[in-house]
Structure 1
Amino acid sequence: MPTPPPQVPWRPTSAHVRACVAGAALALAATWLRRPDLLVLAAPLLVVALWSALSRPGAAPQVEARLAPRTVREGEAVRWTAAVQPVPGLEQATAKLAAGDFQQVAPPTRTVTVAASGTQPPEALPLTLAVRTTRWGRRTVGPAVVVAHSAWGAFRWGAHEVEPVGLSTLPVPTRFDTTAPMPHPSGLVGLNRSGRPGDGSEFASIRPFQLGDRLRRIHWPVSLRTGSLHVTSSWADQDSHVLLIVDALNDLGPSEGLDGAASSLDTTVRAAGAMAEHYLHRGDRVSLRVLGSTGTTRVPAATGKHHLRRVLDALASIEVASRLEDDPRHALTGVSAGTVVVLLSPLVSPVALSHAVTLARRGLTVIVIDTLPEGLAGDDPQEPFAGIAWRVRLLERRRELQRVQAVGVPVVAWQGPGSLDQVLRDVTRRAAAPRMAQR
């Protein structure tokens, strides 16, 4: 909605005051001293001052800030527009936008000026700036200051502050791909090969024709050689349920946006988006849970392109939290047998590992992805013992990871494409063997 104008919008500028004072002084001096030349100098100033006073706007313009689009990906730009509804006497309008965190404004001066065209009926003056966002999250663009001037710059309206506009930036998924099969496909559709014959794309065997077999599956070379009809059988294609657990308890390392260094939470969010996009394109069901975030913490399992947008929106709303009120046993809520759980965490908090161990002891397949940035040092000039404390914490972290791996939970570092290939193959072979689960 347009912003309501202030009570006293238009005020004379210093240039208008100087013109009035100088013109009047020169006119008085010309009359007192009988100097016609001084009157010639005063005439233009008095004419411009009188013209400006007669054309002074009588109403305040309305300003409406718009942002198009309101949802973008990292690295994309949006158009911020302040539409100024002109009033009689308005000559030009200027806007200056305040740049927020992880935002780049073009032009770099963050200022735009537009002159009124004088057309009838008057059209809104679009003060447009390009804003590029370089990091995921929900932020605001603005505030901005809008100033309007009348003819000859005699009167000024503002500076009027325009409220900021919300912008949602979705994370750009990193490159991820895997060719390894899922260990426990249990749905009806998908690209994962199940352990039973059925309609699918992967060849199983050649067997004699049975009542109900489709004619297009007849294998004619074997049928002609044996004298009886034989058909090709295949393994059924099924989908899997992938549960992504994102650790938002800590954000370690510098975050410089899409074009710079990535913090642990940046890597975690982008990796989760990449895995969700990969498995949803394969037809699998994906659900999301966030540990410690004050935003959206749960996204139920579903599939399709619209569900990918829901997952990315939930990832964009993540905010770092300092404490966790959730019990590790709550992670079992709504998780069925055969679910593949992928935990993405920098693994500096024991809470995330507690969730992984709890889920693994219930018989679920759990994979932990380490997103701690390489070469991260805890040296702080203001804290002389910060480096020692960080090294001690890394030793404790190494011991905790060894204990988790001893329980049977694999821990791998995030490396983009192929990060889970070997782990999924090992888990699939291990899933075929009998296993003990705690009831």
Structure 2
Amino acid sequence: MSLPLTHRNEGRQGMVAAGLALAGVGVLTGRPGLLLASTVPVVLAAHARAATFPSPDLAVERAVSTTTPDREEAVEVTVTVTNEGASTAPDLRFIDGVPTALTVADGTPRHATALRPGESTSFSYAVTAERGHHTFDPLYVVAHDTSGGAARHSEVAVETELECVPPIPPAATLPLRPSAAGITGETVTPEGGAGVAFHTIREYRRGDPLNRIDWHRAARTGDLSTVEYQRERSATVVVVLDAREEGYVASDEHDRTVLERSVEAAGAVYEGRRLVGDRVGVATLSPADCWLAPGTGSGHRARVRSLLATHEALHPLPSDDPFFGVISLSRLRRRLPSDAQVVFCSPLVDDYAARTARRLDAASHPVTVVSPDPTVGTTTGQRLARVERSLRCSTLREAGIPVVDWGDETFQSTVANAVRRWSA
């Protein structure tokens, strides 16, 4: 809709018809009272037709109780409208532009009033903060004239933004594939060198560190030899979130979407890998391009937190843009470092997700799937979806791809239980 626009109340045409009908009856029956009465609706309709479209001069301010709320915090919004024109605005109606991803928790964003010149009015309501960057839309205004027959629709832009950046969740110690010999969070190379796990014994070379000389062997044989250990290095991990429209499913309308749970899982996995010194990156399969190369350090951690909270690819509501699966997966594979492992966060509600996990795994990127379960309901559709999803999980496990099936427990507990099962 292009604004501003104007319209007249076409219902007044019925008044003209009624007046003409009364006049006709008055003529046929010879009753002057009906003829006189017939002039009233005609006069009112003519007045409405002659009315000019109002054009109020309004100044609008919007104040919020905080611009950086915590998740699920109630944010009070107060809108103040002032008539800066020289004439009275007899009938004003407002609808504030609440961001689409936020819900009104208290009050209403609608208001109606009349304003004399210089007069102001205010109305308030509260919204519940959600993860992400949220921009308010303009205030929608409908101004009617005194007769109600002419109206002007317009918008008044007021720049107001909220940004909710939740903290990174507590770490979840998800092991990699394969986990190092007794050391979670590092990968083992086939070469010998410095480390803690025994690799081999070789002949002493000048310059070898004294702490790696096998002194017991030297005492027995008189020959110097050097102990080689398995070399260990930090792993490279990329957490990939399924942020297609299929990733926005939920068990019911009041539950969190799977994407919200995937964002939580991604943060917990990142924190767990960071604490053991791994290089961790983040990517999405989504209409919007999203890629953060693996890295370390406090600056990288801040970038991960901001991306998970505010990137458009992870918006709380699904995008209307199309998703091209083949292109998105090819782009991801080109970006992945050759030694990267993948943690794929997906509800596995369709074959594309399972196929993606297998293709990445076949491309020498060992995959672990973290799958928030949206099929916990009891409807027929949910039961069918649960069976189909269970088959996908089984197929991936049979292919050697671990699946962490996340139900009602905390993510950290789910991961701990999964690790115990894998180690049994």
Q: TM-score range by the shorter chain?
A: 0.5 to 0.7
Aligned residue for 1:45?
none
**Secondary structure of 1:245's aligned partner:** strand
1:75 pairs with 2:56: no
Kindly provide the amino acid, as one letter, of the partner of residue 132 in structure 1.
Answer: V
* CA displacement, residues 394-416 of structure 1 (integer Å, 9 cap, x when unaligned): 44443333222121101121241
Task: Name the CA distance, whole Å, in 2 between partners of 1:137 and 1:112.
Answer: 27
Aligned residue for 2:171?
177
Task: Name the CA distance, whole Å, in 1 between partners of 2:291 and 2:302.
Answer: 18
Aligned residue for 1:370?
371
Aligned residue for 1:300?
293
Q: Which runs of no fewer than 5 residues in structure 2 stay unpaired?
A: 5-55, 144-150, 199-205, 211-228
Identify if the C-alpha distance between structure 1 residues 411 and 192 changes in structure 2 by more than 3 Å, giving closer, same or farther: closer
1:246 pairs with 2:246: no
Task: Name the CA distance, whole Å, in 2 between partners of 1:313 and 1:174.
Answer: 13
Aligned residue for 2:14?
none
1:268 pairs with 2:262: yes
Task: Name the CA distance, whole Å, in 2 between partners of 1:128 and 1:391.
Answer: 46
Kindly provide the amino acid, as one letter, of the partner of residue 364 in structure 1.
Answer: H
Alignment RMSD (CA, Å): 5.3
Contact 2:368–2:403 (Cα < 8 Å) also in 1: yes
Q: Normalized against structure 2, the TM-score is what?
A: 0.55
Aligned residue for 2:359?
358
Which of 401, 404, 411 is the matching residue for 1:409? 401
Identify if the C-alpha distance between structure 1 residues 95 and 278 changes in structure 2 by more than 3 Å, giving closer, same or farther: farther
* CA displacement, residues 164-220 of structure 1 (integer Å, 9 cap, x when unaligned): 75756557478543346555799xxxx945658769xx999xxxxx98989xxxxxx
* CA displacement, residues 114-163 of structure 1 (integer Å, 9 cap, x when unaligned): 9x9xxxxx9x9795746433544565535435799xxxxxxxx9986434
Identify if the C-alpha distance between structure 1 residues 184 and 83 changes in structure 2 by more than 3 Å, giving closer, same or farther: farther
Cα offset, 1:290, TM superposition: 1.9
Task: Name the CA distance, whole Å, in 2 between partners of 1:280 and 1:304.
Answer: 9
1:289 pairs with 2:283: yes
**Secondary structure of 2:107's aligned partner:** coil
Identify if the C-alpha distance between structure 1 residues 178 and 137 changes in structure 2 by more than 3 Å, giving closer, same or farther: closer
Kindly provide the amino acid, as one letter, of the partner of residue 267 in structure 2.
Answer: G
Aligned residue for 2:390?
398
Contact 1:174–1:271 (Cα < 8 Å) also in 2: no
**Secondary structure of 1:333's aligned partner:** helix
Cα offset, 1:271, TM superposition: 2.3
Cα offset, 1:367, TM superposition: 0.7
Cα offset, 1:261, TM superposition: 1.6
Contact 2:171–2:271 (Cα < 8 Å) also in 1: no
1:326 pairs with 2:351: no
Identify if the C-alpha distance between structure 1 residues 194 and 341 changes in structure 2 by more than 3 Å, giving closer, same or farther: closer
Identify if the C-alpha distance between structure 1 residues 394 and 182 changes in structure 2 by more than 3 Å, giving closer, same or farther: closer
Kindly provide the amino acid, as one letter, of the partner of residue 305 in structure 2.
Answer: L
1:97 pairs with 2:96: yes
Kindly provide the amino acid, as one letter, of the partner of residue 364 in structure 2.
Answer: G
Task: Name the CA distance, whole Å, in 1 between partners of 2:66 and 2:84.
Answer: 28
Contact 1:144–1:164 (Cα < 8 Å) also in 2: yes
Kindly provide the amino acid, as one letter, of the partner of residue 242 in structure 2.
Answer: D
Task: Name the CA distance, whole Å, in 1 between partners of 2:123 and 2:269.
Answer: 37
Cα offset, 1:352, TM superposition: 1.3
Cα offset, 1:67, TM superposition: 6.0
Contact 1:344–1:369 (Cα < 8 Å) also in 2: yes
Q: Normalized against structure 1, the TM-score is what?
A: 0.54
Output aligned runs, 1:117-132, within 5 Å: 127=122, 129=124, 131-132=126-127
Kindly provide the amino acid, as one letter, of the partner of residue 239 in structure 2.
Answer: L
Kindly provide the amino acid, as one letter, of the partner of residue 249 in structure 2.
Answer: L
Range 239-248 or range 270-279, more displaced:
270-279
Identify if the C-alpha distance between structure 1 residues 213 and 132 changes in structure 2 by more than 3 Å, giving closer, same or farther: farther
Identify if the C-alpha distance between structure 1 residues 211 and 76 changes in structure 2 by more than 3 Å, giving closer, same or farther: farther
Identify if the C-alpha distance between structure 1 residues 185 and 241 changes in structure 2 by more than 3 Å, giving closer, same or farther: farther
Contact 2:101–2:134 (Cα < 8 Å) also in 1: no
Contact 2:131–2:310 (Cα < 8 Å) also in 1: no
Q: Which runs of no fewer than 5 residues in structure 1 stay unpaired?
A: 1-5, 7-58, 117-121, 149-156, 205-209, 215-233, 380-386, 430-439
